[in-house]
Amino acid sequence: MEYLVALADERQFTRAAEVTGVSQSGLSAAIRNLEVELGTKLFTRTTRKVEPTEAGLALLPFARSMLSSATEARDAVVQVSRELAGTLRVGSEQCLGVVDVSSLLERFHRRYPRVEIAFTQAGSHELLAGVRDGDLDAAFVATSDHVGLLPRTVLGQEPVVLLCPPDHPLAARPAVDRDELGGEHFIDFHPSWAVRQLNDDAFDARGVHRRVRFTVNDVHTLLDLVDRGLGVALVPRHVAAKPQAARLVAVPVAPDGAADWVVSVVTGSGDRPDSPAPHLVELLDDAPACVPVPAG
Residue 132 phi/psi, 5° resolution? -60, -35
Q: What kind of fold does domain 82-156+261-293 have according to CATH?
A: D-Maltodextrin-Binding Protein; domain 2 (3.40.190)
How far is residue 294's CA from residue 286's CA, in Å, rounded to a whole number?
20
Q: Quick one: pLDDT at residue 289?
A: 38
Tell me, yes or no, if the pTM score tops 0.75. no
> What is the reported pLDDT for 95?
84
Rounded Cα distance, 205 and 207, in Å:
6
pLDDT by position in tens, the chain (length 296): 889 998 888 888 888 888 787 888 888 899 999 999 999 999 998 777 788 999 999 999 999 888 877 777 766 665 555 567 788 999 999 888 888 899 899 989 988 888 999 999 998 889 999 998 889 999 999 887 767 778 888 888 888 999 999 999 999 999 999 999 989 999 999 988 889 989 999 999 989 999 999 999 999 999 999 999 999 999 998 898 888 999 999 999 998 877 788 899 999 865 555 678 888 888 887 543 333 333 33
Q: What is the pLDDT of residues 128-139, one digit of tens each?
A: 999 988 899 999
Please give the pLDDT value at position 177: 92
Closest to 289 (Cα-Cα) out of 6, 91, 95:
6
- Please say whether the beta carbons of 199 and 160 come within 8 A: yes
Supply the pLDDT for residue 24. 86
Determine how many CB atoms are found less than 10 A away from the CB of residue 52: 19
Write the CATH number of the domain with boundaries 160-252: 3.40.190.10
Which CATH topology does 2-79 take?
A: Arc Repressor Mutant, subunit A (1.10.10)
Instruction: Map out the domains of the chain as residue ranges.
Output: 2-79, 82-156+261-293, 160-252
Tell me, yes or no, if the two domains 2-79 and 82-156+261-293 fold the same way: no
- pLDDT score, position 294: 35
Residues comprising the chain, all counted: 296
DSSP 3-state of 108: helix
Sheet holding 115-121, edge to edge: 115-121, 86-92, 138-141, 261-267, 152-158, 291-293
pLDDT in tens, 191-216: 888 899 899 999 999 899 999 999 99
